[in-house]
């Protein structure tokens, strides 16, 4: 059988998945092709030439004799979980329309611990954001909303533990399309609704020159000076209800709330919320594309600089 082209091709269904990734060797080979799609490049000396295979998983640079594995320096580094399980997790994560909770993943893959499942999902979330992604443009609505999170561990049977609920403020940016519809989104947890929190978000999320619609909050007052076409809608006493004048933000806020409560049972620690928001944005922004997000995530996991909490 001719090897599938990693990155461009990905199993279409679960039977194909089982065929393609039948062994740990097949998974290593797939990830090697994904990571070095244009040919092996030594991570130490930069020499681009086909490597020697030093062992089942180790490759050796012909120039400097440096040995490495496909997972070294990636999100898969030092994992004790078989790559086959990682690939199955990526499959499940991306084939469930609403994603999966750590408890759900633990059950479906038969993982020994909740923590293993949680860590896998968390690392994949880190792989979902492209550092060079384009900022939003055109017409963009921006507003804040509160999310209710609980510190309860997900297995609901945890007896005798008190859980507390935290309200966390999130700022939302949504591209609105003409005549109707929404484009891409960005979300971020913020400490409060001051200019010091919302302005850096707008600058990182939205291209200057875009038309930015906000409510009357003074926090956004400097957007005009910063190169945005700032449209303020003062809600106070307005005849138009908020969900009509900021339809995009309102819609995304209700979807993200439903996702946190539904898929994740509201159980997200506030300090990890940004990673969950990254996953929501990833799903939302690909909702209409026919691409195979699992290979996008895997390739992200292999090529993005690692910077993850243990
Ligand atoms: Zn080398």
What's the pLDDT tens digit per position in 240-262?
Answer: 555 567 899 999 999 999 999 99
Radius of gyration, alpha carbons of the chain: 22
The pLDDT, as a whole number, for residue 243 is 57
| All structural domains of the chain with their residue ranges | 14-127, 139-268
CATH of 139-268, one of 3.40.50, 3.30.420, 3.90.550, 1.10.3470: 3.30.420
Whole-number Å distance between alpha carbons of 92 and 177: 32
Of the chain, the percentage scoring pLDDT greater than 70 comes to 87
What's the pLDDT tens digit per position in 22-48?
Answer: 999 999 999 998 888 888 999 899 999
Q: What are phi and psi of 267, to 5 degrees?
A: -95, 85
The pLDDT, as a whole number, for residue 308 is 43
Q: Report how far ligand 1's centroid is from the alpha carbon of 307 (Å).
A: 24
Q: Report how far ligand 1's centroid is from the alpha carbon of 31 (Å).
A: 19
What's the pLDDT tens digit per position in 193-214?
Answer: 999 999 999 999 999 999 999 9
What's the pLDDT tens digit per position in 67-82?
Answer: 999 998 888 888 889 9
The neighbouring-strand residues paired with 60 are: 52, 67
What's the pLDDT tens digit per position in 214-248?
Answer: 998 999 999 999 999 999 987 666 565 555 678 99
Cα separations in angstroms, 64 against 41, 74, 97, 145: 12, 21, 46, 54
Length of the chain: 310
Residues 6+ apart with CB under 8 A from 110: none
Question: How many CB atoms lie under 10 A from the CB of residue 105?
Answer: 22
Q: Report how far ligand 1's centroid is from the alpha carbon of 35 (Å).
A: 16
Beta-sheet pairing, 165-176 with 58-60: unpaired
Q: Report how far ligand 1's centroid is from the alpha carbon of 53 (Å).
A: 13
What's the pLDDT tens digit per position in 93-112?
Answer: 988 888 999 999 999 999 99
Asked if residue 90 lies in contact with residue 82, where contact means CB atoms within 8 angstroms, the answer is no
pTM of model > 0.85: yes
Terminal Cα distance for the chain, rounded: 39
The pLDDT, as a whole number, for residue 6 is 59
């Amino acid at each position: 059988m001719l090897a599938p082209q990693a990155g461009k091709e990905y199993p279409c269904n679960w039977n194909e998945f089982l065929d393609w990734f039948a062994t740990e060797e097949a998974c290593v080979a797939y990830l090697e092709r994904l990571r070095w799609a244009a040919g092996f490049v030594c991570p130490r000396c930069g020499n681009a030439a086909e490597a020697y295979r030093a062992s089942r998983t180790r490759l050796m640079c012909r120039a400097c004799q440096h040995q490495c594995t496909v997972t070294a320096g990636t999100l898969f580094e030092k994992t004790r979980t078989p790559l086959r399980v990682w690939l199955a997790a990526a499959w499940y994560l991306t084939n469930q329309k609403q994603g999966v909770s750590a408890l759900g993943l633990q059950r479906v893959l038969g993982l020994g611990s909740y923590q293993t499942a949680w860590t896998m999902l968390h690392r994949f979330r880190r792989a979902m954001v492209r550092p060079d992604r384009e900022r939003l443009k055109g017409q963009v609505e921006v507003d804040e909303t509160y999310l209710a999170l609980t510190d309860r561990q997900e297995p609901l049977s945890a007896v005798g533990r008190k859980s507390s609920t935290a309200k966390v403020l999130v700022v939302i940016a949504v591209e609105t399309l003409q005549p109707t519809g929404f484009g891409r989104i960005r979300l971020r947890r913020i400490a409060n609704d001051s200019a010091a929190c919302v302005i850096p978000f707008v600058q990182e999320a939205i291209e200057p020159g875009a038309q930015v619609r906000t409510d009357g909050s003074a926090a956004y007052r400097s957007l005009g000076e910063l190169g945005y076409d700032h449209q303020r809608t003062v809600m106070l006493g307005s005849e138009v209800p908020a969900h009509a004048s900021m339809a995009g933000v309102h819609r995304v806020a209700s979807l993200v709330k439903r996702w946190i409560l539904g898929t994740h049972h509201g159980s997200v620690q506030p300090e990890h919320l940004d990673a969950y928001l990254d996953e929501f944005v990833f799903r939302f922004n690909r909702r209409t594309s026919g691409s195979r997000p699992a290979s996008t995530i895997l390739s992200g996991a292999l090529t993005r600089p690692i910077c993850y909490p243990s």
